[in-house]
């Protein structure tokens, strides 16, 4: 349908944002604490740590994606079998998703920032918001 002109992609960035949000909405309870702690401790200002941080971001993101892959695997396979999905795309939906969210350097930096926020909250708990002298959680 997409090649016939019946369906057109309205916004690639909206799709990426939706997928990234869905991935990051997954609980982090299946990711080992030492992996999270190491990721959070790395400083991207140092080249060797930046490389390791990106590697861990890719690993952690893959763990989140794995949880999402099973429910969509059947539909994705159906789409590939019936040529509804471009045959040049990856055979596994998880590989397709990883390609979308790690598409460019800008996307890679964004996922690292978002993982930093998510995993910091996961490890430390949410920061209470303050309203006057009252703390709200």
Q: What is the pTM of this model?
A: 0.76
pLDDT in tens, 41-60: 999 899 999 999 999 999 99
User: Where are the alpha helices (H) located in the chain, listed in sequence order?
Assistant: 12-24, 33-41, 47-81, 93-101, 105-124
pLDDT in tens, 2-20: 455 565 656 777 878 888 8
Q: What is the mean pLDDT of residues 13-31?
A: 87
pLDDT in tens, 72-105: 889 989 988 888 888 888 889 888 888 888 888 8
Q: What's the distance, Cα to Cα, between the start and end of the chain in Å?
A: 47
Estimate to the nearest angstrom the gap between the alpha carbon of 12 and the chain centroid: 15
- Asked if residue 1 has pLDDT above 50, the reply is no
Residue 61 near residue 114, CB atoms below 8 Å: no
Q: Per-domain residue ranges for the chain? A: 12-136
pLDDT at 72 (0 to 100): 87
The residue among 128, 126, 125, 122 whose CA lies nearest residue 37 is: 122
pLDDT at 107 (0 to 100): 85
pLDDT at 124 (0 to 100): 87
């Amino acid at each position: 349908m997409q090649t016939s002109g019946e369906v057109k992609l309205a916004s690639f960035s909206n799709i990426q944002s939706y997928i990234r949000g869905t991935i990051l909405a997954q609980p982090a309870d299946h990711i080992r604490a030492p992996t999270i702690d190491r990721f959070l401790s790395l400083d991207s200002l140092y080249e060797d740590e930046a490389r390791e941080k990106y590697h861990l971001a890719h690993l952690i993101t893959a763990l989140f994606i794995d949880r999402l892959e099973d429910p969509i695997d059947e539909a994705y396979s159906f789409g590939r079998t019936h040529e509804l999905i471009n045959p040049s795309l990856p055979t596994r939906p998880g590989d397709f998703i990883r390609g979308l969210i790690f598409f460019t350097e800008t996307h890679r930096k964004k996922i690292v920032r978002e993982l930093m926020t998510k995993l910091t909250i996961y490890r430390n708990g949410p920061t209470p918001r303050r309203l006057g002298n009252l703390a709200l959680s």
